[in-house]
Every structure is written in C-alpha cells, then in structure tokens.
C-alpha cells in the first residue's frame, strides 16, 4: 500500500503537476483501508462479535491486545465429574446497593460496587454482573439457557468470576426483574439473590470469555441452576440471542469440585 501510494503520488506529480491529491489525505485513506489488518496499538480495541469474520475463532488475530484468546488457559470449559474435591468455600457478602444497568453492546450488565468476597485469603470487590444466552460453561454435557457472571476484582488485578446458570421453570424469578430488560436505569439490588440454595460448585483457573481473554480469572461455577420463566428468557434473548463463546480445551488444568 505504501509503495502504491508512492507510485500514485509520483505519477500525479509528473502527469498533472499538482493533481489535487494532498499526500496527507492519501496516506490517511491508506491507513483506514488497512486498519483491520494492523490495528494501531494506541487506538481503540478492534471490534469483535460472536459470529462471522470477527467471531470467536478469529478473536486472537483481530488485535494484538487479544493475543491471549489463543492461550491454553481459556474459558469457558466443559465441566464434568472430577476426582478432585474439596470443601473450601468462598465467603461472599453483598449489601443492598445501587446498580446501574447498561447495555454494553455484548451483554446486559449491571455496574455496582455492592459487595465483596473473600476467596483464598484475598479480598475481591464486586464490580459488575451480566448475563450470557445461552450458557457458556456446560455441565456433564448440559448447556443451560443462560448464565449470569458476577465479576469480582482484587486490588492486585486478579479476578474471581462467580457463575450461576438459569434454567426454565414455571414462574418469573424476582431477582431478574428490571435489569434483564437492559434499560438504562438504576436499581437497588442484592446480588446474593442470584445464588442457588445449594452452593456446590466447580473451580478452575481460566480467562475472560470475551476479548481481551485475559488469563487472570479464578472461576467459581455453581452447578445448581436458579429458575426463571420462559418469558424472562425471551426478554433476555430479545437483547442478545447468542452472546456465548464456545467451550475451550481444559488442557492440563485442574478442575476441582467443591462439595456443599
Ligand atoms: Zn461473562
């Protein structure tokens, strides 16, 4: 492209003595036309999606900032029976807090500072929660219709994401009211209302399930779903019909099941 621009500029100069094309504007046009090939490292992150040319298989190539998407500690994964079990539970305390409901373009999300979790001796603050349809993790081959992620961050940047599956039941779930519509609004909310009564779960080391796919996440995935209605699932799908990344290889990572 640079060579072609140079050639064009020389031809213009020779043939038309001025030709109207200023070198600045030509070089700007060139940068724009090839921006998707070599993103400016200081520019905004590349656009990505859940299907097509910018879908999950291409994430790592879309932007150097997304290189981790090709890593060997990626999420989600297929969860299944494991020989490794423990009874080491997390300790989450959530207060009633104002949350701001936003539509990120990739999920319906509630930004909040309403709580903290102590996990493995480290304190993590709740930052936001959001929902994927269908679920991203699978359990013994089952894929639930939706999965909520509660994202907690420690001061050192480490993340704990607590995942809760939704399954279809007969009645609306009050814990999902208001925020799943994705409307720009604020609301008071206690995130622990999203937890199932039985809190047995899988844990493993993984990543964000969206670019930049950072491998800084300790996952806690509850295996007991909470119930929601068909109407609430329809409301979710009306926002995002499919915002779930396919399962990634577990590799040699340890999967632990934490008993109730
Ligand atoms: Zn998520």
| Distance from Cα 20 to the centre of ligand 1, integer Å | 51
| Distance from Cα 212 to the centre of ligand 1, integer Å | 12
Considering only residues 243 and 190, tell me which one the structure prediction assigns the higher pLDDT. Answer: 243
| Distance from Cα 80 to the centre of ligand 1, integer Å | 20
Averaged over 89-93, what is the pLDDT? 81
CATH number of 71-258: 3.10.200.10
What span, in angstroms and rounded, lies between the C-alpha atoms of 185 and 180? Answer: 11
pLDDT at 189: 81
- Give the pLDDT confidence of 46-77 residue by residue, as tens digits: 899 999 999 999 999 999 999 999 999 999 99
| Distance from Cα 259 to the centre of ligand 1, integer Å | 24
| Distance from Cα 130 to the centre of ligand 1, integer Å | 6
Please answer whether residues 180 and 172 qualify as being in contact, where contact means their C-beta atoms are separated by less than 8 angstroms: no
Most confident of the ranges 31-35, 83-87, 225-229: 225-229
Averaged over 77-92, what is the pLDDT? 84
User: b vs e for 29-49, b when ≥16 Cβ sit within 10 Å of the residue's Cβ?
Assistant: eeeeeeeeeebeeeeeebebe
Provide the strand spans (E) within 11-136: 78-79, 85-86, 91-94, 97-103, 108-111, 115-119, 122-132
Share of the chain above pLDDT 70, in %: 83
pLDDT band of residue 37 (cuts 50, 70, 90) is very low
Most confident of the ranges 44-48, 59-63, 112-116, 190-194: 59-63
| Distance from Cα 239 to the centre of ligand 1, integer Å | 15
pLDDT of 34 over the 50 cut? no
| Distance from Cα 142 to the centre of ligand 1, integer Å | 18
| Distance from Cα 191 to the centre of ligand 1, integer Å | 15
Environment class of 122 (CB within 10 Å of its CB; exposed 0-12, middle 13-18, buried 19+): middle
Averaged over 173-183, what is the pLDDT? 87
- For the ranges 30-34, 53-57, 111-115, 217-221, which has the lowest average pLDDT? 30-34
Q: Specify the pTM.
A: 0.82
Averaged over 202-227, what is the pLDDT? 97
- For the ranges 9-23, 90-104, 165-179, 217-231, which has the lowest average pLDDT? 9-23
Considering only residues 8 and 131, tell me which one the structure prediction assigns the higher pLDDT. Answer: 131
């Amino acid at each position: 492209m640079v060579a072609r621009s140079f050639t064009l500029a020389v031809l213009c100069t020779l043939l038309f003595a001025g030709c109207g094309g200023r070198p600045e504007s030509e070089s700007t046009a060139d940068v724009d036309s090839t921006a998707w090939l070599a993103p400016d490292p200081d520019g905004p992150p590349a656009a990505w999606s859940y299907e097509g040319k910018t879908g999950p298989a291409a994430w790592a190539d879309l932007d150097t900032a997304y290189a981790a998407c090709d890593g060997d500690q990626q999420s989600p994964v297929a969860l299944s029976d494991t020989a490794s079990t423990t009874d080491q539970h997390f300790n989450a305390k959530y207060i009633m807090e104002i949350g701001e409901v936003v539509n990120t373009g990739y999920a319906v999300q509630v930004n909040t500072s309403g709580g903290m979790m102590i996990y493995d001796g480290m304190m993590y603050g709740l930052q936001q929660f959001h929902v994927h349809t269908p679920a991203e993790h699978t359990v013994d081959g089952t894929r639930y219709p939706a999965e909520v992620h509660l994202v907690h961050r420690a001061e050192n940047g480490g993340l704990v994401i607590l995942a809760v599956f939704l399954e279809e039941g007969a009645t609306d779930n009050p814990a999902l009211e208001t925020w799943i519509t994705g409307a720009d609004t604020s609301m008071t909310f206690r995130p622990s209302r999203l937890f199932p009564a039985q809190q047995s779960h899988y844990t493993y080391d993984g990543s964000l399930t969206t670019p930049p796919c950072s491998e800084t996440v300790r996952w806690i995935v509850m295996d007991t779903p909470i119930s929601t209605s068909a109407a609430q699932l329809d409301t979710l799908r009306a926002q995002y019909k499919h915002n779930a990344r396919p399962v990634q290889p577990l590799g040699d990572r340890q999967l632990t099941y934490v008993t109730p």
